[in-house]
Amino acid sequence: MSSTWKNNIALSIFGQSHGAAIGMTLDGIPAGEAIDLDELRAFMLRRAPGNFPWATPRKEADEPELIAGLVNGKTCGSPITAIIRNTNTRPHDYGHIQFVPRPAHADFTAFVKHGGFADLSGGGHFSGRLTAALCIAGGICLQILKRRGIFIGGHVASVGAVNDDLFSPVGVGEELFAELRAMDFPVINPEAGARMVSEIEQAKQDGDSVGGVVECAAVGLPAGLGSPMFGGMENIIAQLVFAIPAVKGIEFGAGFSAATKRGSENNDSFTVTSGKVTTETNNHGGILGGITSGMAIIFRAAVKPTPSIEKAQQSVDLVANTPVQLEIKGRHDPCIVPRAVPCFEAAMAVAVMDSIQSK
Amino acid sequence: MSSTWKNNIALSIFGQSHGAAIGMTLDGIPAGEAIDLDELRAFMLRRAPGNFPWATPRKEADEPELIAGLVNGKTCGSPITAIIRNTNTRPHDYGHIQFVPRPAHADFTAFVKHGGFADLSGGGHFSGRLTAALCIAGGICLQILKRRGIFIGGHVASVGAVNDDLFSPVGVGEELFAELRAMDFPVINPEAGARMVSEIEQAKQDGDSVGGVVECAAVGLPAGLGSPMFGGMENIIAQLVFAIPAVKGIEFGAGFSAATKRGSENNDSFTVTSGKVTTETNNHGGILGGITSGMAIIFRAAVKPTPSIEKAQQSVDLVANTPVQLEIKGRHDPCIVPRAVPCFEAAMAVAVMDSIQSK
Amino acid sequence: MSSTWKNNIALSIFGQSHGAAIGMTLDGIPAGEAIDLDELRAFMLRRAPGNFPWATPRKEADEPELIAGLVNGKTCGSPITAIIRNTNTRPHDYGHIQFVPRPAHADFTAFVKHGGFADLSGGGHFSGRLTAALCIAGGICLQILKRRGIFIGGHVASVGAVNDDLFSPVGVGEELFAELRAMDFPVINPEAGARMVSEIEQAKQDGDSVGGVVECAAVGLPAGLGSPMFGGMENIIAQLVFAIPAVKGIEFGAGFSAATKRGSENNDSFTVTSGKVTTETNNHGGILGGITSGMAIIFRAAVKPTPSIEKAQQSVDLVANTPVQLEIKGRHDPCIVPRAVPCFEAAMAVAVMDSIQSK
Amino acid sequence: MSSTWKNNIALSIFGQSHGAAIGMTLDGIPAGEAIDLDELRAFMLRRAPGNFPWATPRKEADEPELIAGLVNGKTCGSPITAIIRNTNTRPHDYGHIQFVPRPAHADFTAFVKHGGFADLSGGGHFSGRLTAALCIAGGICLQILKRRGIFIGGHVASVGAVNDDLFSPVGVGEELFAELRAMDFPVINPEAGARMVSEIEQAKQDGDSVGGVVECAAVGLPAGLGSPMFGGMENIIAQLVFAIPAVKGIEFGAGFSAATKRGSENNDSFTVTSGKVTTETNNHGGILGGITSGMAIIFRAAVKPTPSIEKAQQSVDLVANTPVQLEIKGRHDPCIVPRAVPCFEAAMAVAVMDSIQSK
């Protein structure tokens, strides 16, 4: 039981990939916040498959219907619930693999946990499709945070071996985020972006998939948000980010590269800028002792290659307990990374919203 | 507020580095579990400074007193509370820096959050010393898990640029863990270990510090533990691991390297071994969809270099709001990584204990 | 923020009286449980207004649509979400009182908390209508509990000054519950029931309302469920029961009458019946130290008279800050007590389901 | 698992009656709050047995040692932990009844839940002694609330059949609370108090015990605290109050008597007093829809007669599964009610503190 998350705010995500609907309830949002549905739709469109070489041909309207929590377009202080009807379900695509788990998918573990009752169609509740619900929650939070001067943005930091530039402590901010939001394939360095797309197209041609890294930042946060120990900003962000399927790692600021450094290199000197205490560098990623320093929060998350590939794979028939060769014919993204960018922004937005709703 | 963690079990950590005592309450542990205090002490000794070049000369007995939850050496089903008296406190070591935050420490953010009332002596509640309390909780869980056939171990995976070998899906297990536990500087490859120690000694001579990576594994878990979405094994482990100060990243299985791979490389084929479904490789780190697969859970965590260094650093007087040069003379570890290994084992143990206490 | 409840299972209730829909998400229910929708509908019908003198003429189909968590009529282990569309909304009924709070309603406190953004139409999220969502959750739990030999039932224990007989330790059980379920006005003593109905009719004629008490019991629970201190059965049941609007008190077993007794009268002697330890009386209401004793759990809850009455009342215009005479013309129950019975059964069912999902 | 309570603040209570120590950790209290230990001691003394006919002769110093969370007498924002060493333990008093549960005690249910490993000495973790830990938490909160103009007080509302006057909406306030605090046997009507003491002395002479009711109020709260549904003030107070052993019922405002009333009697008219909206009566007990109205919060809790009585009782030998006659010779209160008054004030204080720590 854990599709219900409760800290200073609460988020409940429900639905299965090929069930009647997916959706979410977001509880604890203050009253009086205008929610612009067009802006929410635009945000969610960045997660939608689109007509891109890297995306699944499965098309879903992904139109969220807000059924609770708003009055005349503004939050009323009650839980906000939105649902998305699943219109383009094809349960039979997956019927034949019901007891043959796809490698690197949750099919096997869901089957062990829930037995034959697990909904394995298209990944059921474990499907990446559920991130649409996360994006509703995050898209709502983003609009509220924006009015408080807090902006969040992300980009594809790498695909396979190709790396984009990283956010710098200086350049990161809403201007750059707006540029990235406007791009189909959001990267800081367009040349790297072009090579990433090639990498993805190549993987697709090979009936294969490829992984990557997303970098996400939040700017405009006051210092002093968050808590020590288990409720720190890193803890909460990490807990939310690992709810996005395919994430296998997260790092903040200098992250794993901090582990290779000396203290004298990694420590961010304090300085006074326009009367405000800041740091000259941002190896700490905006968080010290679980609490915001006022610098940009920056994390990078590792996204494994899409498990569903056309290439033949070795699996097991869970009923017969015998080896089986598996070929997956469904509709899949050769690289989920570009579509995942708004999902990470959403996770960050929920975490930051949570921190400002604490006293 | 977040030094109280509550999921299927609950863990509350309290105390400040130079206060009267530190300690923890662990709630939700089943009755009838024998807790061997000598074994607990031995576990905690691995975290103690010892007489090693890499450790602070501050010596604390670190003797946990179990004041609640046991009857005749066995758990009685009530909360387990243990405290450690702080005997060797030197509040004056830190007096002069009370309003001059140490770079990369929580001094600044604690001051912003709690104002002049924050306990900044030795890091207060944010001190690495609090991991002793985590180790009590973890040490207790380890003993219980062992009786259920679940074993946890860790090693120094890297210091600076020097890398140890990593856990392999095949060799990882209690035998290797026992060897590692017996080593002052736990590594798989002793030659790499020797070079790491040199790296640390060099940093120390330079009045500097150095970071590293710890790798931690759990074996013997049944498949099917954990949950999807926010309460998955990765989410819970990450939430607990980021409670260890200095952690800036965590990755599971192939982790960030998965992001550079093709699906066909990264997907772990299913196979049947002695009638049991397993995977041939373990890029998934024992977790799929937040749920255990029965393979070893493996994570690596990035530990930044100890922030406290003797070298002069740039900081700010938070009262005068002016730049100040800071030199720290206290007692510090040039590299916290080897002493941190049991802390990560403890975090893993608490997370795994939590998962088996769920229905 | 608290329409999201999370313990061993989680329940999130959303929606406003005159919004698009109300509903609930129930998380943590085991997979493989058949949910009979007809049985659920029948359960909810007991809460529906019907054509009775004691009920509001507002008619809602109250047809729950299960949009997540079921596959082929069985739970799949993922969160269960159901919604009910609000079809018969009349926002204008309430428009004129938007800033004139109805005495004993949450209008005033909702306005203070959420300001002019509060949804006050028909009580918004505070409306008794939201108990339909609780009944979906409870109705699902009841079906699961039944298969484990646990049965829950309730009756109108009093209306105004008229009292029904109370559950006795001997007679209480599924047979009696089934009889009560079949009655429009569920009482043990039909003669008392008839007098209660008269009491309600009289109140209605007077443009007034009347309160009452509901008694609810659960039988078939094993001894040993629940916890001491904050998570005991009484604590959890009370926390859930006070979510039902109009409840002003709850008591277990002998309850407030225990306060008038001697220990020698109130203590329930232990005895052995067919090899099983039971108590001869049940003043403890099936709970000792927060943990089930195996005897029937019995509670009574005080339901205040419906606040909305036709009689003129004194209130205040919150904008002008001046006294205003208020007359309410909408559709209201002169006595909510009979319709509330299934709501209490639902709260009990969720609490008991929660306790058996703990390890 | 539930001796750890977590909402906007967290409270963890640990220890067993005859273990090494009992204590509590209170997390989420703002920094900078002065805690006067003498005042805390004075508060706890009201719970101490004293030399009164109604109290157990067991004497405990009940001296709380604050081992974490304070610096120079002020909170530092970190968890506050206090312990009380158990000095006057007599485990052998209870040895002979280890497997013969005392009627109306938690002995039986603790044994069923934890098996032979349960600590049954003196009630173990279920003992009324643990309320001393609750009083530490509450005593700390009371001091903080006082500085915010919020005052809490209580009195013995009844013992057996003898009733004290109840708090009136008009007279209730700090002046009356101060008078009550100064009394060994806190009642509004001293004549009733004298008769209650006789009632208790009579019960004692008879080797019996007697129950009663405590009434508790909080004044000075702003309107708008709390939440609808599961996190309302009533829900939270009830959840905390049922953590006090022997409580079998709770009611707010008019409580169970509201169930006998007409709406026109029970509804509290709104009025404007010195420019502020208030109600003329307080049948709602200061809470509407789970949210404070600004009027006094008033609850009454039913306390059952002390289960431990000298009179012979019928029980069962849980090992032999045979009936046994039980005579309890230990040290017991013939009436716990007067000593329980500060415990209820403590529970109220924690609940109110929790509500003001929410945003």
User: Hey, is C83 helix, strand or coil?
Assistant: strand
Nearest to A125 by CA among C149, C118, B231, D122: B231
> Has residue A90 got a pLDDT over 90?
no
Closest to B4 (Cβ–Cβ): which among D10, D23, D116? D10
Contact B117 D14 (CB under 8 A): no
pLDDT band at A171 (very low <50, low <70, confident <90, very high): confident
Give A283's contacts in chain B (Cβ within 8 Å): 104, 304
Rounded CA separation D123/A108 (Å) = 46
pLDDT at B60: 64
The DSSP annotation for B317-340 comes to ETTTTEEEEE---S---S--HHHH
pLDDT at B329: 79
Say yes or no: A12 contacts chain D, CB-CB below 8 A: no
pLDDT at C300: 98
User: How much of chain A exceeds pLDDT 70, in percent?
Assistant: 94
Give A303's contacts in chain B (Cβ within 8 Å): 259
Rounded CA separation B328/B332 (Å) = 9
pLDDT at D94: 46
- Scan for tokens 């020797």, then name that residue: B194
Q: Helix C337-356 to helix C233-241 angle, to the nearest 10 degrees?
A: 140
pLDDT band at A92 (very low <50, low <70, confident <90, very high): very low
- Scan for tokens 């469904």, then name that residue: A330
Give D235's contacts in chain C (Cβ within 8 Å): 2, 238-240, 242-243
pLDDT at B94: 46
Predicted confidence (pLDDT) per residue in D325-357, tens digit: 998 877 678 999 999 999 999 999 999 999 999
Average pLDDT score over residue span A220-240: 97
Average pLDDT score over residue span D216-236: 97
Distant-in-sequence, close-in-space partners of D70: CB < 8 Å, separation ≥ 6? B19, D35, D76, D80
> Has residue A8 got a pLDDT over 60?
yes
Predicted confidence (pLDDT) per residue in A37-82, tens digit: 999 999 999 998 876 777 776 666 688 999 999 999 999 999 999 9
In angstroms, the separation between the Cα of residue C10 and the nearest Cα of chain B is 12
Residue D213 CA: distances (Å) to CA of B18, C47, C251, D164: 45, 34, 12, 10
pLDDT band at D92 (very low <50, low <70, confident <90, very high): very low
Closest to C103 (Cβ–Cβ): which among D228, D270, D290? D270
pLDDT at B62: 82
C212 token code pair = 């009452």
Closest to D359 (Cβ–Cβ): which among A78, A228, A358? A358
Residues D339, D55 contacting (CB under 8 angstroms): yes
> Has residue A213 got a pLDDT over 50?
yes
Q: How many CB pairs under 8 A join B and C?
A: 11
Residues D81, B23 contacting (CB under 8 angstroms): yes
Give D232's contacts in chain C (Cβ within 8 Å): 2, 242-243
Predicted confidence (pLDDT) per residue in C244-267, tens digit: 999 999 999 999 999 999 999 999
Rounded CA separation C218/A84 (Å) = 38
pLDDT at B333: 86
Residues C136, C29 contacting (CB under 8 angstroms): no
User: Hey, is D326 helix, strand or coil?
Assistant: strand
pLDDT band at C59 (very low <50, low <70, confident <90, very high): low
Say yes or no: D78 contacts chain A, CB-CB below 8 A: yes
Closest to C359 (Cβ–Cβ): which among B78, B228, B358? B358
Residue at D116: amino acid letter: G
Say yes or no: C10 contacts chain D, CB-CB below 8 A: no
> Has residue C58 got a pLDDT over 70?
no
Average pLDDT score over residue span D236-242: 98
Give B6's contacts in chain D (Cβ within 8 Å): 4, 6, 10
User: How much of chain C exceeds pLDDT 90, in percent?
Assistant: 85
> Has residue D42 got a pLDDT over 60?
yes
pLDDT at C359: 83
Closest to B208 (Cβ–Cβ): which among A211, A243, A264? A264
Give C24's contacts in chain A (Cβ within 8 Å): none
D255 token code pair = 């409580």
How remote is the C-alpha of D140 from its chain's centroid? Answer: 15
> Has residue C61 got a pLDDT over 80?
no
pLDDT band at B327 (very low <50, low <70, confident <90, very high): confident
Predicted confidence (pLDDT) per residue in C211-241, tens digit: 999 999 999 999 999 999 999 999 999 999 9
pLDDT band at B92 (very low <50, low <70, confident <90, very high): very low
Say yes or no: D359 contacts chain A, CB-CB below 8 A: yes
Q: How many CB pairs under 8 A join B and D?
A: 185
> Has residue B171 got a pLDDT over 80?
yes
Per the prediction, chain A carries an average pLDDT of 93
Rounded CA separation A1/C30 (Å) = 9
In angstroms, the separation between the Cα of residue D209 and the nearest Cα of chain C is 5
Give C289's contacts in chain D (Cβ within 8 Å): 105-106, 109-110, 126, 245
Per the prediction, chain B carries an average pLDDT of 93
Phi first, then psi, for residue A233 (nearest 5°) are -60, -40
Average pLDDT score over residue span B225-236: 96
User: Hey, is B47 helix, strand or coil?
Assistant: coil
Average pLDDT score over residue span C301-320: 94
Helical (H) or strand (E) element with C241: helix C233-241
Contact B305 A211 (CB under 8 A): no
Closest to C358 (Cβ–Cβ): which among B78, B228, B359? B359
The interface residues of chain B toward chain D in range 115-134, judged by CB-CB distance below 8 A, are 115-119, 121, 124-125
Identify which has the larger pLDDT, D55 or D243.
D243
* A83-121 residues labelled b (16+ CB within 10 A) or e (exposed): bbbbeebeeebbeebbbbbbbbbbbbbbbbbbeebbbbb
Predicted confidence (pLDDT) per residue in C123-156, tens digit: 999 999 999 999 999 999 999 999 999 999 999 9
- Return the DSSP state at C223: T
User: Hey, is D105 helix, strand or coil?
Assistant: coil
Ranking A118-132, B81-95, C160-174, D234-248 by mean pLDDT, the lowest is B81-95
Predicted confidence (pLDDT) per residue in D53-63, tens digit: 777 766 666 88
- Return the DSSP state at B139: H
User: How much of chain D exceeds pLDDT 90, in percent?
Assistant: 85
Closest to B309 (Cβ–Cβ): which among A247, A264, A270? A264
Say yes or no: D88 contacts chain B, CB-CB below 8 A: no
Say yes or no: B78 contacts chain D, CB-CB below 8 A: yes
pLDDT at B58: 61
Q: How many CA atoms lie within 13 A of A287 on its CB side?
A: 37
Ranking B50-54, C311-315, D116-120 by mean pLDDT, the lowest is B50-54
pLDDT at A94: 46
Contact B79 D4 (CB under 8 A): yes
The interface residues of chain A toward chain B in range 237-276, judged by CB-CB distance below 8 A, are 238-240, 242-243, 245, 247-256, 258-272, 275
Show which subunits contact C, needing at least 3 CB pairs below 8 angstroms.
A, B, D
Q: What is the sign of the dihedral through the CA atoms of D53, D54, D60 and D64?
A: negative
pLDDT at D215: 98
pLDDT band at C355 (very low <50, low <70, confident <90, very high): very high
pLDDT at A52: 76
Say yes or no: D163 contacts chain B, CB-CB below 8 A: no
Predicted confidence (pLDDT) per residue in D143-166, tens digit: 999 999 999 999 999 999 999 999
Determine which of B75, B78, B109 to mutate to test the interface with D (most D C-beta atoms within 10 Å).
Answer: B78
User: Hey, is C194 helix, strand or coil?
Assistant: helix
> Has residue D319 got a pLDDT over 90?
no
pLDDT at C92: 46
> Has residue D10 got a pLDDT over 80?
yes
pLDDT band at C320 (very low <50, low <70, confident <90, very high): confident
Name the residue in chain D with its Cα closest to that of B124: D78
Nearest to B130 by CA among B3, B31, B266: B3
Q: How many CA atoms lie within 13 A of A263 on its CB side?
A: 32
Ranking A88-97, A239-248, A349-358, D185-194 by mean pLDDT, the lowest is A88-97
